Chains A and B, each alone.
Chain A
Amino acid sequence: MKGPDHVFDDRSPGVEEYEPTASYWSYTAGVGLAILATIASFIVSQTHLLWPPGIPVGLVVLAFAQIGVHLVFFLHLGSGSDNTNNILALAFGVLVVALVIGGSIWIIANLNENTMHLNEMTQMHG
């Protein structure tokens, strides 16, 4: 070690500190891709371009793609080593969101299946 002449800061989320000239382009590229993804979502939902039962899957894929574009181009969450803490916090957030949404839908669908419908119940008593 020759001794530290420069300390590498952690990166704040939302800032691209090391590429000052690339940033206007980063936002412009991001907004272009996001608009494309939005238009694609509307087209997929309104036409039969996709096999109809697959439309919800296609919409979810496009939504995730657009969220990815926003994270990379607007929030500048890249894979750089200075971004580790931000990415780890995000990963934990995604885990909790997946548990809450996936878990709720799973449990309620299960309950729905095992619950007697109202008319069946009246038939049994009547």
Chain B
Amino acid sequence: MTTETLDRIATAVPTELARGRGGGGPASKRVVVAYGFWIFILSDIIMFSALFAAYAVLAGNTAGGPTGRELFNLHKVFIETLCLLLSSYTCGLGALSAERRQPARFLFFAALTFVLGAAFVVIEATEFAGMVEQGAGPTRSAFLSSFFTLVGTHGAHVTCGLLWLVYLTAQVMVKGLTAPVLRRLLCWSLFWHALDIVWIGVMTLVYLMGVG
């Protein structure tokens, strides 16, 4: 067996034909746009990692105030998690319908995604309001400052994602599923899935470890 055949078995695609390796000319706009957005998402996750680190360091500093065990309601967190997870699912199905040029189906899944995402934001907002009402606002302790910063930043991202979805749905209705609209939808679905991944970290580190 020569080195060349070994190489071919390992990669399956001949190097001279694979665009990602410099062969076959520049990649399509769709691939370039999605890759650029992927880099943005990774940098956003790096920003979240700083907030996670701050929370992990400050979680014990309650300054005599309420602790996570007293404040968190795991039933609500479970419902929140399910809302976000199912909205990621419907977002995937919506993106797939868009790829297959099925606008009615896309609109159905986009509406479902919006409702589930909005339910998540509403549950989180009522949780925050309830905490502030019992005197456990962000000014109470270092623990609560870092809690509101981390969870609030995630919630703000979800809210932005919802507004972006409304904007894209309007574009689909006005312009149809054209190539530029599909590229924007691809970026949005990447963003939405990434927020769900960040939420897994929030759910585990903040809520489950905070209560258990």
Contact = CB atoms under 8 A, between A and B. Distances in A.
B142 to A, nearest CB: 12
Contacts of A38: 78, 81-82, 85, 203
Contacts of A100: 46, 49-50, 53
Contacts of B42: 89-90, 92-93
Interface in B86-118: 86, 88-89, 92-93, 95-96, 99-100
B11 A81 contact: yes
Interface in A92-115: 92-93, 96-97, 100-101, 103-105, 108
B208 A41 contact: yes
Contact of B31 (A9, A23, A42, A97): A9
A89 B20 CA distance: 13
A8 interface: yes
A14 B53 contact: no
B176 interface: no
A93 B212 CA distance: 29
A45 B155 CA distance: 24
A73 to B, nearest CB: 8
B174 interface: no
Nearest to A109: B57
Interface of B: 11-14, 16-21, 23-25, 27-28, 30-31, 33-35, 37-39, 42-43, 45-46, 49-50, 52-54, 56-57, 74, 78, 81-82, 85-86, 88-89, 92-93, 95-96, 99-100, 186, 189-190, 193, 196-197, 200-201, 203-204, 208-209, 211-212
B201 to A, nearest CB: 7
Given A31-B86, A66-B200, 11 more contacts: A4-B16, A11-B31, A12-B31, A14-B190, A15-B99, A31-B89, A59-B204, A70-B88, A75-B190, A81-B11, A104-B53
Interface residues of A, number: 56
Nearest to B75: A42
Contacts of B24: 4, 7-8
Nearest to A55: B212
Contact of B35 (A28, A75, A85): A85
Nearest 3 A/B pairs, CB to CB: A10-B20, A12-B34, A93-B42
Interface of A: 1, 4, 6-15, 20, 23-24, 27-28, 30-31, 34-35, 38, 41-42, 45-46, 55-56, 59-60, 62-63, 66-67, 70-71, 74-75, 80-82, 84-86, 89-90, 92-93, 96-97, 100-101, 103-105, 108
Contact of B74 (A14, A30, A42): A42
A14 B189 contact: yes
A35 B82 contact: yes
Contacts of B88: 31, 70, 74
B8 to A, nearest CB: 11
A8 B19 contact: yes
A40 B212 CA distance: 14
B38 A34 contact: no
Nearest to A60: B204
A11 B17 CA distance: 14
A21 B190 CA distance: 20
Contacts of A55: 212
